[in-house]
Each structure stands twice: as C-alpha cells, then as structure tokens.
Amino acid sequence: MAIHLVLHWLSDGPEGARVGLAHHDGLGLRAPVAWVHHRVNSAGLATERRALEAGLPRAVAGGGMDPLVAHGRALFDLILPAAVKAALRAGAGRLTVITDAAALPWALLHDGTAWVGLRWALGTVPAIERVLTPPAAAPEGDRLLVVADPAGDLPAARNEGEGLLRQLARAGEGLACDLRLGHLARQDFLRLFRGFRLVHFAGHADAGPEGQGGWRFADGHLAPAALAQLAGGGAPGLVFANACRSVATADQASPSGGLVDALLAVGVRHVIGTAVDLPDLPGATFAARFYAGLRAGLSVGGAMQAARVRAAQAGDPVWAAYRLFGPPDAVYFQRRAATELGGGPRPGVVVAARLPAPQAADPEAFADGRQRIRGA
C-alpha cells in the first residue's frame, strides 16, 4: 500500500506551531506519531518566503528553479521539526497538509534532494475549512464544464479549451463536456456552476478594489461575494482555475481576492490554480497532463504530481506555479491501463456543447505561438 502521510501544522503563537504527523491506512487515521511544539523563527520565515515568492514569477517564465533551491531548503528547515523532515526525506507517496497557513508554498519546500511537490502527491487542506465547511454533495455523473475566454479577449484560452475538448474526445468513454467558448456573463456561469462535477476556467484574473477583483467575464469580474450566494447547495467536486494568480489565498496579494477561500467555503472539495502569472502555452500543456492523469484513474494529488514531474523532466518550471487545495487521495475516475496516459485514439465519444463568441478572435494574436503572459 502506498504511503499516505497527514501533516498537521497549526500556528501556536507568533513564534511557534503545533505539529503532528499521522499515517493514513486507507480506512482512517492512526494516532499522530507525536504532537510537538515547534519553534518558528517568524522573521526568518517571512524573509525566505518573500525571497522565494519574489523569484517565482521569473522562474516560471523560463528562468528555472535553481536560484530558488536555497530558499526552499531554508523554508523546509524553518517550518518543520526534525522528525517530520526525516519522514519526508525517507519516503514518497501522498501527503496531506492540514494547516491554518495554507498560503505557505508547501510544494516548494526543498528537502535537500527534491522539491516536496515533486516527491509527494501533495494537497493542502485549510484547517478552518475542514472544520467549518464539509464538502457539498457534487453532482452525480462525469460532467465537465470548460469555460474558455469568457471575456472574449484571450485567444490562447480559446485554444486551451478546444485542445482540452480534443484530448477528452480521444480518451472517449462518453464524458459529457460542455465547452463555453467566448463571451459569457457572470450570472450565466453561476447558473451552470452547480450542475457539473468538474469545472475548468481558462481566462483572466484581475486585481481590483478590495473584494472586487476576480475572474474576468464578459460583464465584469466574478468576486468572492458572488460565489457566496451559492452556499448551502451542491457544488462541483473540483475547480481548476487556469488563470494568473487564480488561487492565491486571502493573506496574499491576489487579483482573485481570495476566490479560492470562497470556493472552499461553498463546498468545492478541490481547487487547483496558480500562485503567479502564467505563460499561456505551458499552462495549457500542464492542464492537459493533469486531466490525462485524472482520467486514467490517478488520485487528484497523483495527477497533479504526475503533471509536475513531466513538466520538470522536460525542463519546464511551470509546475511550480500550481497549487492544489483539498485532500490528494480522492479519485474521480476508475483506474485504466497505464498506457492510456500517453493519449492516442480511443473508441468513444465526448458529448459537447460549444458556445462561440459573438466576435471572432484575432488570428494573428496567437498564430506564431509565442508565450504571452496572461495579464490585464
């Protein structure tokens, strides 16, 4: 049985944390091996985190991860007690981090040999959401909503949506996929939101006045307050937001203004997105790899890890932009043969509805395939 560790990391005063490590046996949690008070150098932690996050946009844009290794190692040493560090270095598998410091870059801790997000299938569970907001019942069946370029001004997002549809068609087996391509209003999106098990957003995320930033639609930005209207009803199991800084949490400077917190609060179980500005083409490739793993029967964390490892092996640092909020062990599709991860023609059909934009996109804006950064 694969290793599944559960790390509890809860703030305990300005200079410390209560830390416990448990093993998940597939049926429930065994007792934590030990709860300890770990002294944290808060000034050092803040310094190393700022340095890593300041260098991350350059790294993801093509500068590479090597300059960030020292900061990742320093954070690993500052955040974790010795016993936890030893356990993470000694094994590999699934790692659930339950914490009130979800904004920490857990995947970018470095154990001296590897990045934690490459060694482990990692998911971060905000502790307050785990206690106060159990996941809402997701719609039955395998239905995916793909919203691509809802503001009508990002041709690369259209390409991503259509590419994802083609990939799912090759995988076959009747996955119902509704592709909304081009102009879409916020209320139309909210009306659709509850009816799908998975939702993929490819578009812009913008800054704005406090609480008003968010994902850009044809008639404005979808802010956290708008999502709060959906509390108490059903919600998708998984939302993948492929936009710049789409899942930064409330204590980070984010165009989304804490949209990830709002999604978790209405009962979404898994939220995936980026913490920095994202190159269009590598971002679309990463999403395609994630869904290939998910459809092949990998857990959410396993599909994320597989996409990260493939990107890293190809020398593409885009993997470091992504974060997964939610338990990594959930499986959305039954396992298939490992050869299906490679793609290729498959018998079957994707049921899809396409909603074209009223205005044609400028073909020259994307014709040369250059990697433009998604921005305002």
Residue 277's pLDDT is 85
* Tens-place pLDDT, residues 149-192: 999 999 999 999 999 988 887 766 557 889 999 999 999 999 99
What is the DSSP pairing of strand 270-274 with strand 238-242?
parallel
> Nearest-CA neighbor of 254 among 264, 241, 267?
241
Residue 247 has pLDDT above 80, yes or no: no
- Integer Cα distance of 251 and 249 in angstroms: 6
Helical ranges in 105-236 per DSSP H: 116-119, 127-132, 155-171, 186-193, 224-228
Q: Are 288 and 242 in contact (CB under 8 A)?
A: no
Residue 359 has pLDDT above 70, yes or no: no
The more confidently predicted of residues 25 and 44 is 44
The structural domains of the chain, with segments of one domain joined by +, span: 3-132, 143-297+332-365
* Tens-place pLDDT, residues 265-317: 899 999 999 988 888 788 999 999 999 999 999 999 999 999 999 999 999 99
Class of domain 3-132 as given by CATH:
alpha beta
Stretch 129-157: mean pLDDT: 76
Residue 370 has pLDDT above 90, yes or no: no
Q: What is the mean pLDDT of the chain?
A: 82
> pLDDT-derived band of residue 234, with 50, 70 and 90 as boundaries?
confident
